[in-house]
Amino acid sequence: MIRHVTASISTAFFSAYNAHDAAAAAALYSADGTHEDVAVGHVNRGRQAIQEGLAHFLSCFPDAHWDVLGSIDAASASVGWYVLTGTLQEDFGPIAARGQALQIRGVQVMCHEGGVIQSTSDYWDLATFQRQMADSDR
């Protein structure tokens, strides 16, 4: 089922993220939509992979919240800039990060057609993430 959005794409997108509703977020995408995590070079392809990827992220950060600082919606693209806050619930590879609070700035770029997201690219501050992880390892 393709969900056609009547509110702005960026509002619907961040609302689903902040509701921690991976299924609702994935339903905003076309069947072959993509979500790219630019900072780490990973792409989820298709609604199922997008849903699973977000569900995994939310299990690592169960208190994740995207504070949307602003957004722009145009006919075929939307951009939302945010500050993500959350607390890691598990170690991050060899880094003892359980309980580490994070605050990371980012920008989500969404390409869409007819109210359906075709692709998203999430640009966030990897250097800040690494500094915060280094602080947790001390």
**Residue at 107 is within a domain:** yes
**Residue at 89 is within a domain:** yes
Boundaries of domain holding 122:
9-136
**Residue at 81 is within a domain:** yes
E-strand spans in 1-138? Answer: 29-37, 42-45, 65-73, 77-87, 101-113, 116-124
Token match 């990897």: residue? 126
How confident is the model over 92-115, as pLDDT tens digits?
667 777 888 999 999 999 999 999
The domain spanning residue 56 has which CATH number? 3.10.450.50
pLDDT band, very low/low/confident/very high, at 12 (cuts 50, 70, 90): very high
- Percentage of residues in the chain having pLDDT higher than 90: 74
Pick 138 or 27 by higher pLDDT: 27
**Residue at 1 is within a domain:** no
**Residue at 2 is within a domain:** no
How confident is the model over 51-103, as pLDDT tens digits?
999 999 999 999 999 999 999 999 999 999 999 999 988 876 677 778 889 99
Residue 1 pLDDT exceeds 90? no
**Residue at 22 is within a domain:** yes
* Of residues 37, 67, 38, the one with CA closest to residue 53: 37
DSSP letter at 137 equals T
Domain count, the chain: 1
Rounded to whole angstroms, how far apart are CA atoms 32 and 25?
14
Chain centroid offset of residue 89 CA: 17
**Residue at 31 is within a domain:** yes
**Residue at 4 is within a domain:** no
